[in-house]
């Protein structure tokens, strides 16, 4: 169904998983995958794989499966990975530095072009090859470098200001690791990742398991 250009959010969130699995198969020299096989690798159900991929177009062959190389290309194109997106990180603390050192960045078509921090000891330095600018330079540098994705690794108190600064500089996608709720205009994509939230959700499950054990006695 190549006609409709509205891909469900849930499908978009799974495309990177499929892509990774496809790369694994490509590296093994496998020429084609069935939805069954891809589903197994991605840890989902085969019908879901077929419906997801059908949103990109009819790229499979009945009785055969999907051509691995061709499907990799199509998924990458759909995700916008055929072009390079400039990324900037606000906050050069532990997490910011760990992210800057993440090898998967450039490997996957993202260029880390700038970091920002308030600490005078860090400003002017280079972390894993990326220059650290003062926070005040964010609007100018982000605009000049054409930053597409802003990553926020600051304390929660200043996260919203940083988000606003990125938005003002024309950044259209934000990823925050700050433990606070952020808001952004409708046209800006905002994703939040929060360790303490993940732990609390797991705490709920731990408790549920513990209760079941007690009940089972």
Select the binding partner of residue 196 from DNA, a second copy, none (C-beta < 5 to 8 A, by kind).
a second copy
Cα–Cα distance, 162 to 92 (Å, whole number) = 13
Q: Provide the mask over 81-120, with x wherever binding to a second copy is found by CB under 8 A and - wherever it is not.
A: x-x-x-x------xx-xxx-xx-xx--xxx----------
Taking CB under 8 A as the binding criterion, the range among 51-59, 60-68, 114-122, 198-206 that sits at the site for a second copy is 198-206
Nearest to 85 by CA among 68, 62, 119, 108: 108
Chain position carrying tokens 């991605």: 42
Residue 159: exposure state from Cβ atoms within 10 A (0-12, 13-18, ≥19):
buried
Instruction: Using DSSP bridges, classify how beta strands 32-33 and 65-67 pair: parallel, antiparallel or unpaired.
Output: antiparallel
Burial group, residue 53, by CB count within 10 angstroms (0-12, 13-18, 19+): buried
By beta-carbon proximity to a second copy, the closer residue of 4 and 62 is 4
Question: Counting contacts by CB under 8 A, is residue 2 touching a second copy?
Answer: no
Contact 160, 138 (CB under 8 A): no
Stretch that binds a second copy, among 27-35, 53-61, 129-137, 184-192 (CB under 8 A): 184-192
**Residues engaged in binding DNA (CB under 7 A):** 1, 8-11, 33-36, 44-48, 50-51, 53-54, 58-66
**Residues engaged in binding a second copy (CB under 8 A):** 12-13, 15-17, 19-21, 41-43, 78-81, 83, 85, 87, 94-95, 97-99, 101-102, 104-105, 108-110, 148-149, 172-175, 179-183, 187, 189, 191, 193-210
């Amino acid at each position: 169904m190549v006609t409709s250009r509205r891909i469900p959010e849930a499908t978009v969130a799974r495309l990177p998983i499929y892509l990774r699995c496809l790369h694994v198969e490509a590296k093994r020299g496998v020429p084609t995958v069935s939805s069954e096989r891809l589903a197994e690798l991605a840890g989902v159900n085969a019908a879901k794989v077929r419906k997801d991929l059908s949103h990109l177009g009819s790229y499979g062959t009945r009785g055969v499966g999907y051509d691995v190389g061709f499907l990799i290309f199509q998924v990458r194109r759909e995700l916008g990975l055929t072009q390079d997106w400039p990324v900037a990180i606000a906050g050069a603390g532990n997490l910011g530095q760990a992210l800057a050192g993440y090898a998967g960045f450039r490997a996957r078509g993202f260029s880390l072009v700038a970091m920002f921090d308030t600490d005078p000891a860090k400003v002017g330095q280079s972390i894993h090859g990326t220059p650290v600018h003062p926070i005040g330079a964010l609007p100018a540098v982000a605009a000049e470098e054409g930053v597409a994705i802003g990553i926020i690794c600051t304390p929660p108190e200043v996260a919203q200001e940083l988000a606003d600064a990125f938005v003002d500089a024309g950044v259209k996608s934000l990823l925050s690791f700050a433990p606070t709720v952020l808001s952004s205009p409708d046209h800006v994509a905002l994703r939040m990742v929060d360790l303490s939230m993940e732990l609390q959700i797991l705490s709920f499950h731990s408790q549920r398991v513990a209760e079941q054990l007690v009940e089972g006695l």
